């Protein structure tokens, strides 16, 4: 499984990096919704990381401190073979010393079904009204 940080990838030319980032952001735009620009700013600032996994799955992740220790936050994700790739993210997070993984999703019921074997359970619900 190849994890590629698209902001730090030295194996591609500048043109290839630019194209890869365009594809990633286009793929991530629907799950990011109105927060797309804020998430992009976090990536540019180095607060979050834009990853491509096996050229078919894109995600933005960031580390946070939680009550139980270091927590990996999957801010947004999109692509194919989600279960396989989220499982790989879990394994890498555990190996890197993270104590938990939290996922932001607009489709919690679907993800709870997909993530059942990984131990996901509903932790909170956010309700927002646009003014």
Distance CA 57, CA 48 (A): 16
Q: Looking at the domain assignment, is residue 126 inside a domain?
A: no
pLDDT of residue 60: 97
51-90: per-residue pLDDT in tens? 999 999 999 999 999 998 999 999 999 999 998 999 999 9
What is the four-CA torsion angle of 118, 124, 125, 131, rounded to 10 degrees?
-130
Q: Model confidence at 17, in pLDDT bands (50, 70, 90)?
A: confident
Instruction: Sort strands 69-79 and 100-103 into parallel, antiparallel or unpaired.
Output: parallel
**Is the residue at 60 inside a domain?**
yes
Q: Is the pLDDT of residue 3 over 90?
A: no
What is the rounded CA–CA span in Å between residue 120 and residue 29?
A: 24
Quick check: is 76 in a domain?
A: yes
**Domain hosting residue 72, numbered range:** 3-118
In-domain check, residue 123: no
Over residues 104-125, the pLDDT tens digits come to: 888 888 878 888 888 888 887 7
In a domain, 71, yes or no: yes
Rg over alpha carbons for the chain, rounded to the nearest Å, is: 15
- The tens digit of pLDDT for each residue in 19-54 reads 999 999 999 999 999 999 999 999 999 999 999 999
Write down the pLDDT at residue 1. 62
Pick 73 or 6 by higher pLDDT: 73
DSSP for residue 68: T
In a domain, 125, yes or no: no
- 104: domain CATH number is 3.40.630.30
Q: How many domains does the chain have?
A: 1
Q: Does residue 96 sit within a domain?
A: yes
Interior CA angle at 115 toward 40 and 68, to 5°?
70
- Who contacts 57 (Cβ-Cβ below 8 Å, separation ≥6)? 77, 78, 79, 80, 81, 82, 85
């Amino acid at each position: 499984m190849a994890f590629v940080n698209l902001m730090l990838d030295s194996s591609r030319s500048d043109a290839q990096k630019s194209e890869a980032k365009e594809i990633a952001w286009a793929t991530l735009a629907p799950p990011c919704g109105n927060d797309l620009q804020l998430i992009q700013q976090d990536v540019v600032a180095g607060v979050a990381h834009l990853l491509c996994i096996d050229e078919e799955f894109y995600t933005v992740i960031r580390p946070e401190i939680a009550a139980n220790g270091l927590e990996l936050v999957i801010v947004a994700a999109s692509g194919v073979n989600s279960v396989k790739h989220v499982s790989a993210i879990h394994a890498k997070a555990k190996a890197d010393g993270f104590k938990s993984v939290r996922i932001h999703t607009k489709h919690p019921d679907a993800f709870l079904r997909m993530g059942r074997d990984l131990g996901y359970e509903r932790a909170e619900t956010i309700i927002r009204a646009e003014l």
